[in-house]
Chain A
Amino acid sequence: MRRNGARHLLSMADLDRDDIEQILNLTGSFAEVGERSIPKVPALRGKTIAWLFYEDSTRTRLSFETAARRLSADTMNFSVSSSSVNKGESLRDTIETIAAMGIDGVVVRHRAAGAPQQVADWTDAAVINAGDGWHQHPTQGLLDLYTATSHLGDLDGKHIAIVGDIKHSRVARSNAIGFATMGARVTLVCPPTLLPPSLDGWPVEVTHDLDAVIDELDICYLLRMQLERQKQAVVPTLREYHHEYGLTSARADHLGAEALIMHPGPMNRGVEIAGEVADRPNAVIAEQVANGVSVRMAVLFLLLGAGLEPVDESAVGGGLAVA
């Protein structure tokens, strides 16, 4: 996110291994803050962050809001559904209006790929992509990397399968890049109808046979299956999908004892993951959610705090060093 001097987080593709390691290290420090009796530090006191969510989101939004609160930032909510946006205001007019109120950062979620990039072109505030269409969801990618490394350590040579609707998934695009950047071997598993039209330049392998790789996986990462895909006839039935591509109990038994089961949520139990499997001890799905807050604290802090003022270590907890 430092590349090109930009102070935005728009895509996992903008981060190199050092960037990611820096963020994950800082995430560890902020995780400790979350365990305190008063889980709050003054690191972003006086900073204002605007939420610009054009697409419904509960989890990501609550996670960002919690992160901002723990950093003592002021927040401003631009409620899209009840605003001028519904009256035809252009994206640029909207962001310029918000920026005119004085903001340091803006967290954007949009159903259209690239909207956060456009916002970044039109404002001086730091822009964080909280999910844009099928394109990217970098903080999800970072929290997944943090969760994986906290269990598996160094990801070099580890094997992750990302299973499901790759084509329409921003999580898959962020994680394919993120895990590969950290040295992992990435295999995409899905029916051909759910694969992007081209994988030129993607650091991945592909199989349509989950059983062929399940025994050797270190991480089985399941994507949410959008229920409307059945209506669009890209899979015949959800039952067949579950049978061929779901993490059934029988398949989950093939996973090694240390292998992680991950899911970005919200889950469709019985579709991409058997209900029982989601509750197994090696399913770290709730942990992903908890880590999401810490990762977003780290990202907000790096983009809005670091580099602008000398960092007071006591402000953010011990053991923290930010360049």
Chain B
Amino acid sequence: MGSIAITNGTLVDGGGTRRADLLIQNGIIAEVGERLDGDTAIDADGLVITPGFVDLQVHFREPGGEEAETIQTGSRGAALGGFTAVIVMPNTTPTIDSAAVVHQIHDLSIDALCEVVPSAAITVDRDGEALSPMAELVRSGVRVFTDDGVGVQNARMMRTALEYASGLSHLADGYEIVLAQHCEVDALAAGGAMHEGDWSSRLGMPGQPAEAEELMIARDVALARLTDGRVHFQHVTTARGVDLIRAAKAEGLKVTGEATPHHLCLDHSAVASFDTVFKVNPPLRTPADVAAIKAGLLDGTLDAIATDHAPHTRQDKERPFLDAPPGMLGVETAFAIANTELDAGIEKLVELLSINPARIAGIDDRHGGPIEAGRPANLALLDLDERWTITGAAMASRSSNTPFEGRSVRGKIRHTIWNGDLVVTNGEATR
């Protein structure tokens, strides 16, 4: 692999904004300086160079759901979206709840276009009954545990998991294992197909009340306090959920939170079309919730933007709204949506899309910057002002269930470099 020189660009990482050239060689940033030359030259005039993005929550469906997505197609989409690492969720078939399946994910990732980092289930088969072999999983590289879409319903089980995980840091280079929770109390939300409120009432649709999310966030804040454990709140969607996390952080508890691109710009009125592309879990909430999510991202209560990229085949989505599976595509549009909808500068966006999620996932030794000599070359080159129109059919995904079809957005990934390899150049994947 020859060297790459990136010239005339603007660097943005945790250290601020500056102009410098980069020389990339042997997978690492060899030099940051002026007038650098390489075998391949990229003129980054007008572009912003950031650490590659890190997505804390994607579903690449492999193994088990390959008609909707594969690690290859999902990672291509992620690279096109500027991501150099993604955390894949364990709701595969089989479930990622043993080192054997972790190894299988690594094998399947051999041709991926970004780093594919397996998370693992907190409980065996995500059924809430028995702890998965967490030490074995940590030894195989897992840092984030989650029961994904079902959440750990039983408070005692969650307490046990937090306690057990807090004793595994010695297997993880001192990193504190994080339990990521999908916050929804089944007793209140089961059977629901959308946010419970004025729209669900009008449409005659069973609802998922905001309180189902708030209750579990409140419970896990209490358990984080009880166990001194580390909890990450996945895809927070409610205003009071954001308030609970804000208070927990003020108290000094080890909690973090994320929000999705769709929850920061779409609300439950979209369901009035009965278009199943708007079915997602947790559901689209009220405009007031959308405003609170944005505020939570801007004031640091929520640490990261994560896509919950959830491909579904056409035939699965072309069912009645009640029956269709929840989920939306996200990796290719996350940056553009955040850049368009969130009133944040690029430095804040880099925090939300790269620095913070890399730290939360325990991969900040190689992702999330800083951009300096000796670091692995995981970078995204962005045009902040380019306008384009989102089209599901044009995406790398095997599925096309984007909720943003036809939406005009600002901000495009021009190049993505993963481990020194140009995986996306001029907006096209190289393989």
Contact = CB atoms under 8 A, between A and B. Distances in A.
Interface of A: 90-93, 110-115, 117-118, 121, 132-136, 170, 173, 196-202
A170 B204 contact: yes
Contacts of B202: 173, 201-202
A115 B276 CA distance: 11
Nearest to A137: B204
Contacts of A173: 202, 204
26 contacts: A90-B316, A90-B318, A91-B319, A91-B320, A92-B318, A93-B315, A112-B321, A112-B322, A112-B323, A113-B203, A113-B204, A114-B203, A114-B205, A115-B320, A118-B275, A118-B276, A118-B321, A121-B275, A132-B204, A134-B204, A134-B206, A197-B196, A197-B209, A198-B198, A198-B201, A200-B198
Nearest to A54: B320
Contacts of A202: 201-202
Contacts of B330: none
A134 B314 CA distance: 26
A110 B321 CA distance: 11
B200 interface: yes
Contact of B318 (A91, A113, A132, A136): A91
Contacts of A118: 274-276, 318, 320-321
Interface of B: 196-198, 200-207, 209, 273-276, 314-316, 318-323
A132 B323 CA distance: 13
Contacts of B197: 197-198
Given A198-B198, A201-B198, A133 B204 contact: yes
Contacts of B206: 134
B205 A135 contact: yes
Nearest to A112: B320
Given A173-B204, A197-B201, A114 B318 contact: no
A135 B318 contact: no
Nearest to B313: A90
A98 B196 CA distance: 34
Contacts of A115: 274, 320-321
B102 to A, nearest CB: 32
Contacts of B207: 197
Contacts of A133: 204-205, 322
Given A133-B204, A196-B200, 18 more contacts: A90-B314, A91-B318, A91-B319, A110-B320, A112-B320, A113-B205, A114-B321, A115-B321, A117-B274, A132-B204, A134-B204, A134-B205, A170-B204, A173-B202, A196-B201, A197-B207, A197-B209, A198-B198
A177 to B, nearest CB: 10
Contact of B274 (A90, A114, A196, A198): A114
Contacts of B274: 113-115, 117-118
B323 to A, nearest CB: 6
Nearest to B194: A113
A102 to B, nearest CB: 22
A181 B198 CA distance: 19
B68 to A, nearest CB: 14
Contacts of B276: 118
B196 A113 contact: no
A114 B320 contact: yes
Contacts of A201: 198, 202
A135 B203 contact: yes
Nearest to A113: B204
A91 B201 CA distance: 24
What 10 A-B pairs come out closest when comparing CB atoms? Answer: A114-B274, A134-B204, A112-B320, A135-B204, A196-B201, A200-B198, A92-B318, A112-B322, A198-B198, A90-B318
Contact of A113 (B198, B209, B273, B321): B321
Given A93-B315, A114-B274, A117-B274, A199 B201 contact: yes
Contacts of A91: 318-320
A90 B313 CA distance: 11
A94 to B, nearest CB: 10
Contacts of B315: 90, 92-93
Nearest to B201: A196
Contacts of A112: 320-323
